[in-house]
Amino acid sequence: MMNTQQKKNRLLILVIFGMTIIPFLIAWGLKENPGLVKGTTNRGQLINPPLSINRTEFIGYDSFSNANLGELPGHWLIVNVIPGVGCNEICLDAILKTKQLRLMLNKELPRTRRIVILLKEIPQVISNEWWLKDMLLWRLRRTENKEDNALFTRLLREDNKIDEKLIEKLIGGENRDFALNSELIRVKPSAELAKKIMEIRSGSIPDGMLFLIDPLGNLMMQYEAGFNTYKVKDDLMHLLRISQIG
């Protein structure tokens, strides 16, 4: 017969096993039965069946992204897509919205990562301006005064650049290295993955689209251009609560 200590040890092993396997069973259940969340997570469109993505199908767009691809597995991914060779006002506004969205998650923020998928080859001298705006323009949304709103609207245009004087104005007294430190991971999809994504959209991905990918690599939700940040936040918080994974 087992003594009291042996029973405690066995119980501890069962608890640890349950804590490990239950989140994965929930995530698997969501993948196999997307209707379980359809009734309450209805601001976006569920992708049914979800598109399973192998993280090796993501190729780092630049050295920063290559160095941080290891951050993607096990996290919920908030995914912007740039379908063409430019990032217009709608495109850039969507990228800025996902930055705001992630900040709104508060304590759940570490369970998520932001990525941008670029479907075309873009010269880095052009795309670097997009990433710079991503790091800086959200500051203008915090103030809500007419001058900053006008500057925000002007800088959304791709042909309006940010110069050194404007950088200093936007970061104020903050540490420059901290202010210009990006968490946005930029990736190119494999040819096969790009084809799968296009098929989901019947061959047309508009500027400003948003996708959500779960921690198991399932592309499971999509939002049209002009999505409401607060409604996406409600959806994502709901998914984070019921999955407890990532």
For residue range 9-55, list pLDDT tens digits in order: 565 565 455 555 544 455 555 555 544 444 434 478 999 899 999 98
pLDDT of residue 6: 57
Angstrom distance (rounded) from CA 150 to CA 201: 34
Q: In angstroms, rounded to a whole number, what is the distance separating the alpha carbons of residues 95 and 88?
A: 11
Per domain, the residue ranges of the chain are 4-243
Q: For 157-203, what is each residue's pLDDT tens digit?
A: 999 999 999 999 999 888 999 989 999 999 999 999 999 999 998 88
E strand intervals along the chain = 45-52, 58-60, 76-82, 112-118, 185-189, 210-213, 218-223
In this prediction, residues 129-150 reach a mean pLDDT of: 90
Q: Dig out the tokens for 230 from the structure.
A: 């607060």
- Domain 4-243 grouped into CATH 3.40.50.880: no
Closest CA to 196 of 184, 177, 211, 174: 211
Distance CA 182, CA 121 (A): 21
